[in-house]
Amino acid sequence: MKPIQRSSRGPRKSARWSDATTIAFTLFFFLLAALQFLMFQSPTTEVAYSDFQKLVAARQVENLEVTPTQIRGTLRMPGAASLLPASDATAAKNHGEPWRFTTTRVADDKLVESLSAAGIRYTGDVDSAWPGMLLSWALPLLALFFVWNLLWRRSGGLQQYTQMGKTNAHILVQDETGITFDDIAGIDEAKAELRQLVAFLRDAERYRRLGGKIPKGVLIVGAPGTGKTLLAKAVAGEASVPFFSVSGAAFVEMFVGVGAARVRDLFEQAQAEAPCIIFIDELDALGKVRGAGLTSSNDEREQTLNQLLIEMDGFKSNSGVIILAATNRPETLDPALLRPGRFDRHIAIDRPDLIGRRQILAVHTRHVKIAPEVDLNELASRTPGFVGADLANVVNEAALHAAEADKPAVDMSDFDEAIDRAMTGMERKSRVMNAQEKITIAYHEAGHALVAYSRKHCDPVKKVSIIPRGVAALGYTQQVPTEDRYVLRYGELLDRLDALLGGRVAEELIFGDVSTGAENDLERATAMARHMVTRYGMSKRIGLATVGGSPEQMASQGLDRWRGSFCSDDTARLVDEVIRTMLDDAHTRVSATLATQRSTLERIARLLLEREVLDQQMLQEAIRGVSTERAPETAAG
């Protein structure tokens, strides 16, 4: 199959030719205006008819042109100057001779006789405004029309309005996507689900002879960066069929009816190219719940959604047109889109686990020259929560860091820097802190590290740093889980709550005062405690009832109806009281831990001030009181 490319826009003209033509027409217009000025602004003198009679009697005029309303001619200078008023004579003398004049004709029966008696040659003419109007109005308008027509055609002309209802989708085939399932890792279940679609597109008769119906639509749901769009392109690449790719936002315009027309056009093109795939990215931009917002229920977006629903019902399951859609906000979609018969199959792409991250790193490092000591398993364990896009960025940043250092291959130190940069931002060497601020940050991070180390259910501390990074991070404590966890117990959440408050309590213990550095820690601790109370049923005073609406309830009922509709004011006050009590209890536990290990806290802080960065081994040696005398490492790790 040859590559197919389509676009809703017409053929594009040569930009160079259009620019040259525009310049030529502009110059022509200005030359025409200058010519008009020269022709109609020639120097003339307006004289009174009585003065004209004197000039005729003195034979000081010649080449007269007599019209029913005006007389034009030439004065004989300087003799005529003596017969003119002072102002007219001065103007005539300044322009030399001969000098053109004009006068308004009055009723004079003896005009012809006086001209004949003076021997003055004259001609007659009939007044006509058409030549003047042609030169002064028609030609400039004609020039403007040519310039306007050129610009109109260059911008698309009438086609930009006749094509407004055409979709902006482009048809791609395997040769253009260049993506197959081999290029995707970490989502084996999703690939297995979509292989059935590929088999149907390749051999539809195999399913039709048994009466099977392929799903009309497949909705791919996942967090940003998990590979939804890449997976849809891989389906088209594996099946070698036309691939219509369009964004949900591309349908909605300010003109009423345009979005619905584009939906119709998209499905008409797809039917003509069947078997094929229609991929709608960011479906939530088009398919949000109707009537949930503050706008009218008859707005353009809802009309477009209605047309999409009609089109999905209008073609047969075995027509060979399969709709793939991707979104990271499924809770905002209209229920009519999700029912069987439209998007029959839902494929959820979760964040990759440890094995998935290892596979994704292997894919992205295939074309990167890495050192033999690079351990992808170690890198996968240090990147919990990273999605495919994050891991691709880590590999690229590591390669750039190695190239900047002129290394022959990318080693672990480059990946360490890339991971730190992805988690906390770029290192801010230009940010200079005074000695007291640096000491405060050192004790703050030492408190986090010591509490996390002393709690049984906290993830191991991989690195502690007091080097500023990103926008607001003045230091950080990096914890790396030993395994992927999907369910956390009450005791584990309490340990994590203690670790978040370790920095704040360390400042109170050492300085008897607190700083603003614990802002993010307090936000995360409060959010964790609120979830424990309102969602997880981990408070005896609140009980098992959940308090507060979920995002799905917000989307289905609308924000205005959701606010304050899931609990009473008394319950809300009780929730706040329980959260405050939970945080106070955590503060008490952490204070007791750091007070009994104050010497260890001070030892870690002093080592941080000396080296700025502590790895896992150095931190453990400091906690155990073992000598850490060895060559200092660089801040970049």
d(CA 637, CA 630): 15
Q: Do 72 and 85 belong to one domain?
A: yes
Q: Do 521 and 543 belong to one domain?
A: yes
| Contacts made by residues 104-111, CB under 8 angstroms, sequence distance 24+ | 104/49, 104/69, 104/70, 104/71, 105/49, 105/66, 105/67, 105/68, 105/69, 105/70, 105/71, 106/49, 108/49, 111/66
Question: Mean pLDDT over all residues of the chain?
Answer: 77
Judged by average pLDDT, the poorest of 108-112, 316-320, 493-497, 541-545 is 316-320
Q: What type of residue sits at position 417? A: E
Of the two residues 158 and 348, the one the predictor is more confident about is 348
Sheet strand arrangement including 61-66: 44-46, 99-104, 70-75, 61-66, 122-124
Q: CB count, 10 Å around CB of 522?
A: 14
d(CA 324, CA 283): 10
* 217, β-bridge pairs: 323, 343
Q: Do 524 and 613 belong to one domain?
A: yes
Q: Does residue 6 lie in a domain region?
A: no
Query: Among residues 397, 445, 507, 612, which one is catalytic?
Result: 445
- The pLDDT assigned to 2 comes to 40
- The pLDDT assigned to 97 comes to 53
Q: How confident is the model at residue 317 (pLDDT cuts 50, 70, 90)?
A: low
Q: How confident is the model at residue 587 (pLDDT cuts 50, 70, 90)?
A: very high
- The pLDDT assigned to 599 comes to 93
What domain range includes position 32?
15-38+132-162
243 pLDDT higher than 70: yes
State mean pLDDT over 42-71.
75
Q: Do 506 and 531 belong to one domain?
A: yes
Q: Does residue 9 lie in a domain region?
A: no
3-state secondary structure of 50: helix
- CATH label of the domain that carries residue 77: 3.30.720.210
Q: How confident is the model at residue 148 (pLDDT cuts 50, 70, 90)?
A: confident
Q: Does residue 243 lie in a domain region?
A: yes
State mean pLDDT over 75-95.
62
- The pLDDT assigned to 30 comes to 67
316 pLDDT higher than 80: no
Contact 332, 289 (CB under 8 A): yes
400 pLDDT higher than 90: yes
Q: Do 183 and 289 belong to one domain?
A: yes
State mean pLDDT over 541-550.
79
Half-sphere exposure of residue 254, counting CA atoms within 13 Å on the CB side?
Answer: 0
Q: Do 176 and 153 belong to one domain?
A: no
622 pLDDT higher than 50: yes
Q: Residues 124, 129, 130, 135: is their CA dihedral positive or negative?
A: positive
Q: Do 294 and 405 belong to one domain?
A: no
Q: How many helices (H) and strands (E) does the chain have?
A: 26, 14
- The pLDDT assigned to 403 comes to 92
Contact 122, 65 (CB under 8 A): yes
Q: How confident is the model at residue 556 (pLDDT cuts 50, 70, 90)?
A: very low
102 pLDDT higher than 50: yes
Tell me the pairing of strands 70-75 and 61-66: antiparallel
Judged by average pLDDT, the poorest of 8-12, 58-62, 122-126, 389-393 is 8-12
Of 86, 40, 55, 345, whose CA–CA distance to 221 is shortest? 345
- CATH label of the domain that carries residue 382: 1.10.8.60
- The pLDDT assigned to 263 comes to 83
Q: Give the phi and the psi of residue 138 in degrees, each rounded to 5.
A: -65, -50
Per 3-state DSSP, the chain is made up of helix, strand and coil in percentages (nearest 5) of 55, 10, 35
Q: Do 418 and 329 belong to one domain?
A: no
Q: How confident is the model at residue 228 (pLDDT cuts 50, 70, 90)?
A: confident
- CATH label of the domain that carries residue 613: 1.20.58.760
Q: How confident is the model at residue 506 (pLDDT cuts 50, 70, 90)?
A: very high
Percent residues over pLDDT 70 in the chain: 73
Q: Do 406 and 460 belong to one domain?
A: no
- The pLDDT assigned to 341 comes to 80
For the chain, the straight-line distance linking the first and the last C-alpha, in angstroms and rounded, comes to 52
262 pLDDT higher than 90: no
d(CA 607, CA 623): 11
Q: Do 26 and 50 belong to one domain?
A: no
Summarize pLDDT for 263-287 with one digit per residue, the tens.
888 888 888 887 788 888 888 888 8
Q: Do 451 and 589 belong to one domain?
A: yes
State mean pLDDT over 494-506.
94
Dihedral, CA of residue 435, residue 440, residue 445 and residue 448, to nearest 10: 170
For the chain, what is the domain count?
Answer: 5
Judged by average pLDDT, the poorest of 73-87, 152-166, 522-536 is 152-166
* Whether residue 445 lies in the annotated active site: yes
Of the two residues 157 and 525, the one the predictor is more confident about is 525
- The pLDDT assigned to 332 comes to 85
- The pLDDT assigned to 191 comes to 86
Percent residues over pLDDT 90 in the chain: 21
